[in-house]
Homo-oligomer: A and B are copies of this chain.
């Protein structure tokens, strides 16, 4: 991989915009050249809930192209949600901010739409 980027989403109403940002990024740089993760925390985790999710097709299309999806376990608990509420391919990370720091320390770009 030539490029690495992690997107930070902590607001539910920015979800669709962020997913389209990621689509545009894959189209621009080429999906074979970039490793991408969408890290959600706060209300942003709601974007990855599987029930009645109007963005499901968009999310699944990105997952099929290799995009990683992550949910902050602190935010999940604070909102009374559990692992089963989220799409199967979602990874639960101990803390969303910890994930953002670790990825940047490994040289990943950070984007907060």
Neighbour of A102 across the interface among B3, B8, B95, B112, CB < 8 A: B3
Given A24-B74, A94-B28, CB of A105 within 8 Å of CB of B42: no
Given A21-B97, A98-B29, CB of A109 within 8 Å of CB of B110: yes
Given A17-B42, A24-B74, A42-B17, CB of A100 within 8 Å of CB of B109: yes
The tally of residues in A whose CB lies under 8 Å from a CB in B reads 35
- Using a CB–CB cutoff of 8 Å, the interface residues on chain A facing chain B are 2-5, 8, 10, 17, 21-22, 24-25, 27-29, 34, 41-42, 72, 74, 94-98, 100-102, 104-105, 107, 109-113
A-B contact sample (16 more), CB < 8 A, given A25-B97, A25-B98, A28-B94: A2-B105, A3-B101, A8-B111, A8-B112, A10-B17, A21-B41, A21-B97, A28-B95, A29-B98, A29-B102, A97-B111, A97-B113, A105-B107, A109-B110, A110-B110, A111-B112
Contact present for B95 and A27 (CB under 8 Å): yes
Q: Which residues of B contact A17 (CB under 8 A)?
A: 10, 42
